[in-house]
Structure 1
Amino acid sequence: MKALGRHILAEIYDCDPNVLNDRDLIEEIMVKAALEAGAEVREVAFHKFSPQGVSGVVVISESHLTVHTWPELGYAAVDVFTCGDKVNPWDACNYIAEKFKANHMTASEVKRGVFEKPVKVVNF
């Protein structure tokens, strides 16, 4: 059974708070993570919160990478969703955890777009 995409949900802990609070550095890491995984970057949007924290998205041809950081907790929530066989989302997650100087990451993979039987469309 083939899935349309793979979605990694990563909980990244014990990170360097200075990295997690640096909007420009987070953007650079997320873009490089997409490229390291073999993705084609399309658009990028990041925001620095006051007094701390960064959220952002890297839109790739194959789907997206997102991040939200809590520097005060040394924690980052990261999603990497890729479609097709060209990009390995685990490569991006591992790269991000390394660059965030994380001591711990838990992650799970969800298969997206798995059709086991014909889909019946219901109009509402």
Structure 2
Amino acid sequence: MTRDGKVFAGTHLIVDLWDAERLDDIEHVRRTLVEAVEVAGATLLHIHLHHFTPNGGVSGVAVLAESHISIHTWPERGYAALDIFMCGDARPHAAIPVLERAFSPGGVRCDELLRGETAD
């Protein structure tokens, strides 16, 4: 990929959500990941989620032709950690509003890494 004169493999977003809701609802998490993939213009290959007890946390990954979206939730803390890594024509930043609508976080942090960026 090339953007702003930089050559790299893909965009990797590290996303933290605080004071978020519905982090223990595995079907809601699944639907949210599917919507995030669609809105980003990526291709879903497989999705696998695991529901933990007793806290109800959810961990999982949506495997994409363009890479992946992973999620790990701590509902007892209202916290979720996500990785959104995409290459090609996919638009990983477009997934952020989907996450905001789905989980209604009080706070969001998104850091961007350009994976595989060539050193000059």
Question: Scaled by the length of structure 1, what TM-score is found?
Answer: 0.88
The percent identity for this pair of structures is 36
Root-mean-square deviation (CA, aligned residues, Å) is 1.0
- Provide structure 2 residue ranges, at least 5 long, that are not aligned to the other structure: 1-5
Aligned twin of 2:27: 24
> Which amino acid is 1:11 matched to?
D
The answer for the alignment partner of 2:18 in structure 1 is 13
Which aligned pairs between 1:54-93 and structure 2 lie closer than 5 A?
A: 54-84=58-88, 86-93=89-96
Runs of 4+ with >3 A deviation: none
Q: How many residues align?
A: 114
User: Structure 1, unaligned stretches of length 5 or more?
Assistant: 118-124
> What TM-score, normalized by structure 2, do the two folds share?
0.90
Larger radius of gyration: 1
Q: Give the whole-Å Cα distance in 2 for the aligned partners of 1:93 and 1:99.
A: 10
Task: Name the amino acid aligned to 2:96.
Answer: C
For 1:106, the equivalent position in structure 2 comes to 109
Shift of 1:39: 0.5
Shift in Å, 1:97: 2.3
Distance in 1 of aligned mates of 2:7 and 2:72: 30
Which amino acid is 2:30 matched to? E
